[in-house]
Amino acid sequence: MLVGGCGFILVLGVSAYWEADIRWLHFFQAWMYIATLGLGLRGNRWGYFIGVSAAGLWNYAAIFANTFLWAGLEQISRWIHTGQLARPDLFIAVPAWLSNLLVIIGCLWAYSRLAKKPLSDAGRFPVCFALTTGFFALDMALFQPRYLALFPRLLHPHLP
């Protein structure tokens, strides 16, 4: 969780450095991961729920709702074959996806180690997922409305 969260925050920072128009979007997106780390390192289940929600949504979208991950994998293939990384802005999707995977695995592992797992957590997680997704949508609506088109594709996924 810690390595993945810090890794994804770093990826957000690098990406924001490269593209000025997404800086505020990524600044506020990073706060979901900061909340995950802050709460998760204290053993708070809400941190784990936020982490699985934010990272899970991002990775799901990267596989089924946009071509970001696939374009990054294509850049790796070209890099291997030519020795040149032509589009690091697309390549960065791969470490982003892997970082999010580490967040998901870390949060699930940490949650599994909690001594008490009340049945009410089955209701808390969907609420947390809805709030995390809503925060992400609000972040997009305020700073990059063009990305809101992602949300309908999340409901009707396909492989790019």
* Tens digits of residue pLDDT in 53-96: 999 999 999 999 999 999 999 999 999 999 999 999 999 999 99
Domain spans of the chain?
2-155
pLDDT digits (tens, 9 = 90+) for 86-144: 999 999 999 999 999 999 999 999 999 999 999 999 999 999 999 999 999 999 999 99
CA–CA dist 69, 49 (Å, integer): 24
Residues 107, 33 contacting (CB under 8 angstroms): no
What is the mean pLDDT of the segment spanning 15-44? 97
Backbone angles phi, psi at 91, to 5 degrees: -55, -35
- Cα-trace Rg, the chain: 16
How far is C-alpha 73 from the chain's CA centre?
Answer: 17
Helices (H), 19-120: 23-40, 45-64, 68-82, 88-91, 93-112
Residue 160, pLDDT > 70, answer no
Is the per-residue pLDDT at 158 higher than 90?
no
* pLDDT per position as a tens digit, 141-156: 999 999 999 999 999 8
